Structure 1
Amino acid sequence: MKPITINDLCITFGAVQVLHNISLDVKAGECFGLVGESGSGKSTILRCISRLNDSWTGDVRIGDSAVRDMEVSDRCRMMQMVFQDPYGSLHPRHSIRTTLEEGLRINKLDDREGRMIRAMRDVGLPVEFLDRYPHQLSGGQRQRVAIARALILEPDVLLLDEPTSALDVSVQAEVLNLLVRLQKEKGFTYLMVSHDLAVVDHMCDRFAIMQHGRVVEVLPREAITQGGATQTYAQDLIGASLEYEHAI
C-alpha cells in the first residue's frame, strides 16, 4: 500500500480552468472520498492522476514516485482505475478471459491462468465466466469483472470513479461490500469519487468536498452524521443529503 500526494494540481480546458491548485494527502491504506455536485472536478482529478488527462500542472506522487516520471508499465502496476460505466469500460467483442489476460500479457507476468482464476474468485465470480462475453453478464457482474481487471496486476492504489452509480440499487451494496472486503484483505489505497454521501459514509475514512474545481473542506467520515463541517457549502451539501435520505 502506498499514499497519494497531490500538490497544486491545476488543469485548464480551453479558456476554462477546471481544477484550481488542488492539494490532498491520502494515507496508505486509506479510502478517501471526493464528493460534490456534477462538474465540480472530482472525476477530472482521477483522470489527471492516471494521466488519462495529461495537460495538468502540479505534482502527483504515489509513494515517493512522481507519476510523470514513472514508466507506463510501472504506473499501471502501481495504480489502476475502475470506471463508472461497466457497460462501456469492457470491450463487447472480447471475452472476459481476453480482457483479464491483456494486462498480464502486456506486463509479461507469468502464471496467467492462475492469476485470472484468483482474480475471478476474489470478486466472487465463477471461473467459468472467463469464457463469457460482457453481454452475457449482468451490470453487477460486469463491474466485478472491471474490478478483477484492476486488481489482477496487484496495484497499490485503486481509483474508483463512482463505481456503483450505473448499477441497480439492489446490486450497489454487493459491489460496495466487495470493495470493502478487498481493501481489508489486500491493503489497497482507494481514492473514490461519489455524489452519494451514503456511499462515502459506508466506504471512506475521510472525504473532500469540492465546488467549482476547488477543495472546500476535508472532513472525517463522522462529519456526515455528527456534524463538524465549518464551510457553508459543505454544511449545505451534507444537510441536503441527509434530508434526502430521511425523505426516502
Structure 2
Amino acid sequence: MKPVDVEDLSIRLGDVPILSGIGFSVAAGECFGLVGESGSGKSTVLRCIAQLMVHWQGRIRIGGTDIRRMPLQERCRSVQMVFQDPYGSLHPRQSVRTALSEPIRIHRLDRPQERLERALTEVGLPLHFLDRFPHQLSGGQRQRVAIARALILEPAVLLLDEPTSALDVSVQAEVLNLLSELRRRRGFTYVMVSHDLAVIDHMCDRLAVMQAGRIVEILDRAALIGNGARHPYARQLIEASLEHERGR
C-alpha cells in the first residue's frame, strides 16, 4: 500500500502536446479514476507512471520515491499494470503457467509453485487452468489471468487501463467485484482509466476529468450522483452519462 503523486506531468509528440501539466495525488489504498473522451490522455498517464513511456517531463513518485530513481526491479515490484485487451496481453503460445512463471523467474522469487497457486486462487480460477492456453479461456478468464500476472510480484500499486471494456457486460461486474475484493484484502492503491462513469462510480473514491491532455477538475465520487461538477466540460460529461443511464 503506497501513495502515488504526479506533478506537472507533460509529454509532447513533436510539436503536439499530449499531456500538459497533469497533477494529482492518490492516497495509499485509494482507488483514483481518470475519465474523459477518447484521446484525452488518460491511458498515456498510466503509461508514464508504468514507465512504458519515458520521454516525459515532470515528477512521478510512488511511496515518496521518484520512479526515475527506482531500480528497475524495485519499480516492477511496486507498480504493475492490467491492460484493456485480455486477448492481446497474453502470449497465444504460452500456457498460463508460463505466463505467471516468467516474472517469478526474472525476479528470482522463492517458492514458485506456491506463488503460482496463490495468484490463480486469488483471482478465482481453478489450479488446473495453469496448463491451459489463452485460446482455451473465455475473455473474463483471460483477464483474470492478466490480473493474476500483475499480482504475482505483490505490487503496492495497480494501474488499470479500461480493465473490463473488452468484456461482455455479464462478465464486467464479476471482474470489477474481483478487483474491489482484492483491494479490500490486499490494500492495493489503484489508478483506473475508464470511459464508463458507472464503472468509476462503482470502483473509485475520487476521479479526475481530463480533456485534451489536461485535468479540468478533480471530484469526489459523490459528485457523480447529482452532477456536482463546476467545470463546463466535466458537467457535460457527467450529464451525458446520467442521461445514458436513465435511458437504459
Distance apart, 1:113 and its partner CA: 0.4
The farther-off stretch of 8-17 and 162-171 is: 8-17
| Counterpart AA for 2:112 | R
Match of 2:179 in 1: 179
| Counterpart AA for 1:20 | S
| Counterpart AA for 1:112 | P
SS in 2 for 1:89: coil
Residues 178-214 of structure 1: CA deviation (Å, up to 9, x unaligned): 0000000000000000000000000000000000000
Distance apart, 1:224 and its partner CA: 0.7
- Alpha-carbon distance in structure 2 between the residues aligned to 1:127 and 1:242: 41
Which 5+ residue runs of structure 2 have no aligned equivalent? none
Match of 1:30 in 2: 30
Alignment of 1:76-225 (within 5 A): 76-225=76-225
Match of 2:42 in 1: 42
Residues 138-168 of structure 1: CA deviation (Å, up to 9, x unaligned): 0000000000000111000000000000000
Distance apart, 1:15 and its partner CA: 1.8
SS in 2 for 1:167: coil
Distance apart, 1:64 and its partner CA: 1.4
Match of 2:17 in 1: 17
| Counterpart AA for 1:59 | R
Distance apart, 1:226 and its partner CA: 2.5
SS in 2 for 1:61: strand
Q: Number of aligned pairs?
A: 248
Distance apart, 1:228 and its partner CA: 1.7
Partners of 2:32 and 2:192 within 8 A in 1: yes
Match of 2:2 in 1: 2
| Counterpart AA for 2:116 | M
- Alpha-carbon distance in structure 2 between the residues aligned to 1:111 and 1:104: 9
TM-score under structure 2 normalisation? 0.99
Residues 82-112 of structure 1: CA deviation (Å, up to 9, x unaligned): 0000000000011000000000110110000
Match of 1:55 in 2: 55
| Counterpart AA for 2:201 | D
| Counterpart AA for 1:75 | R
TM-score under structure 1 normalisation? 0.99
Which 5+ residue runs of structure 1 have no aligned equivalent? none
SS in 2 for 1:10: strand
SS in 2 for 1:121: helix
- Alpha-carbon distance in structure 2 between the residues aligned to 1:218 and 1:163: 22
Partners of 2:4 and 2:61 within 8 A in 1: yes
| Counterpart AA for 1:90 | L
| Counterpart AA for 1:237 | L
| Counterpart AA for 1:15 | D
Partners of 2:227 and 2:239 within 8 A in 1: no
- Alpha-carbon distance in structure 2 between the residues aligned to 1:202 and 1:133: 31
- Alpha-carbon distance in structure 2 between the residues aligned to 1:22 and 1:230: 19
- Alpha-carbon distance in structure 2 between the residues aligned to 1:100 and 1:227: 42
Moved over 6 A (4+): none
Distance apart, 1:21 and its partner CA: 0.5
CA RMSD of aligned residues (A): 0.5
